[in-house]
Amino acid sequence: MVPAPPAVPCCAAKQTTPGPAPAATVRRSLAILVVLASAFSAIVVFAQELVPGLVGTVSGIFFGFAFGAGAIGAALLGHLADATSIELVYTVCSFLPAIGLLTVFLPDIEPAPKPLSARR
């Protein structure tokens, strides 16, 4: 197995390990990217509805947090890959979408329906 240089993206590094063909890996990675990127705008709109008077501020905070968290996550995953193996990083990353289950605890922004006695 030929080791991949540290600056090579994970998709290219995956090409050096046994498994699916490189083209299949790239297609799957692009599909995952589209799914994750499509959710970001919905999250920003949800946050803007929670704070209607500060739309620009909320957008800036979310974009800043997203890029900052991505940079910190990339650094931590890179350190983990250097300390252990790229296979472990792939395993860890496969469980990261489970964090989305925490959305159950987000507040409900729809007003509760009024009881029938209050509608008159």
**More confident position, 88 or 2:** 88
Q: Which residues, in sequence order, are CB contacts of 44 under 8 Å at separation 6+?
A: 58, 59, 62, 63
Residue reference for tokens 């300390």: 83
50-72 residue pLDDT tens: 888 888 998 899 889 988 998 99
User: Residue 71: its pLDDT value, please?
Assistant: 93
28-44 residue pLDDT tens: 888 888 877 777 888 88
Map residue 110 onto helix, strand or coil: coil
Is pTM beyond 0.95 here?
no
What ranges do the domains of the chain cover? 10-98
